[in-house]
Amino acid sequence: MRDAGRVLPRNDPRQYDDLADEWWRPDGVFAMLHWLARARAALVPPATRPGALLVDLGCGAGLLAPHLVGKGYRHVGVDLTRSALAQAAAHGVTAVNGDATAVPLVDGCADVVAAGEVLEHVPDWRAAVAEACRLLRPGGLLVLDTLNDTALARLVAVRVAERLPTVPRGIHDPRLFVDDRELVTECARHGVDLRVRGVRPGVPGLLRWLLRQATGAPTPPAQAPRIVPTGSRAVLYQGRGVRATDS
Ligand SMILES: C[S@@+](CC[C@H](N)C(=O)[O-])C[C@H]1O[C@@H](n2cnc3c(N)ncnc32)[C@H](O)[C@@H]1O
């Protein structure tokens, strides 16, 4: 891909090495991850105890970190990709190189588990969900966003979005997209009552951003597109759920 000029299979994690310089460019190919990180962090309340732990599964380069400042969490990020983790560490994240389906952290250690734009990259997303729920303390909070297993998501997120400058081409394998009802059922099996809602970039902000991209003008961070709720979960959705205290 870009740096090495190599073509990798869809969803091959080595793509993140080739795109390592893109993570922290707010107008780069990971732009939408910046917008989503902001929206995900808005679901996380301030910590209720000193030393509270937030485990960020598939943390990438730690784009969530700036949005957690002042909320009082120790931010631990778990990811397969070392080049991304090095950048996360430089942004204050305690980096753990590991698989979201076998996280080397103890049961119930986390006040919050975040799983942003990662489940749709994991061949066994159910195992990652089991890990997320295992890591949560009773009463702990799970926040996530992912792509739905629908024909519309395959059209919008792959055929359309991967042709726009907001999403790297080939980053998704649509066969891994996550059905929202199955995700809710799976979380319930592990004691987490997950509520989901559809989200999307706000249209005026997205159009302004695309126009600026086309003209080569940078978008000031304050004018970056906002992720807003939408009536349909058919493409992109957020989830927020609390682990039962008796599970
Ligand atoms: C689309 S990026 C999202 C990164 C970050 N959550 C964000 O929103 O900026 C997906 C990330 O998940 C990581 N990843 C993919 N499969 C994984 C797995 N099985 N375990 C841990 N990390 C994984 C990739 O290395 C990549 O950093």
Average pLDDT over residues 74-100: 98
Nearest CA to ligand 1 atom 25: 81
Task: Measure 221 CA to ligand 1 centroid, in angstroms.
Answer: 23
Q: How far is CA 146 from CA 62, 180, 242, in A?
A: 17, 9, 18
Residue 155: the pLDDT is 95
Residue 3 has pLDDT above 50, yes or no: no
Cα 67 to Cα 53: distance, rounded to the nearest angstrom: 15
Give pTM, 2 decimals: 0.96
Instruction: Please count the structural domains in the chain.
Output: 1
Residue 2 has pLDDT above 70, yes or no: no
- Residue 4 belongs to some domain of the structure: no
User: pLDDT by residue (tens digit) across 43-82?
Assistant: 999 999 999 999 999 999 999 999 999 999 999 999 999 9
User: pLDDT by residue (tens digit) across 177-187?
Assistant: 999 999 999 99
Q: How many CB atoms lie within 10 A of CB 27?
A: 19
Percentage of the chain with pLDDT > 70?
Answer: 98
Query: Domain of 144: which CATH number?
Result: 3.40.50.150
- Residue 6 belongs to some domain of the structure: no
Query: Which structural domain, as residue segments, surrounds residue 126?
Result: 14-243
- Residue 9 belongs to some domain of the structure: no
- Residue 1 belongs to some domain of the structure: no
- Residue 228 belongs to some domain of the structure: yes
- Residue 44 belongs to some domain of the structure: yes
Task: Measure 84 CA to ligand 1 centroid, in angstroms.
Answer: 9
The best mutation among 57, 80, 176 to test binding of ligand 1, ranked by most ligand atoms within 8 Å of the C-beta, falls on: 80
- Residue 7 belongs to some domain of the structure: no
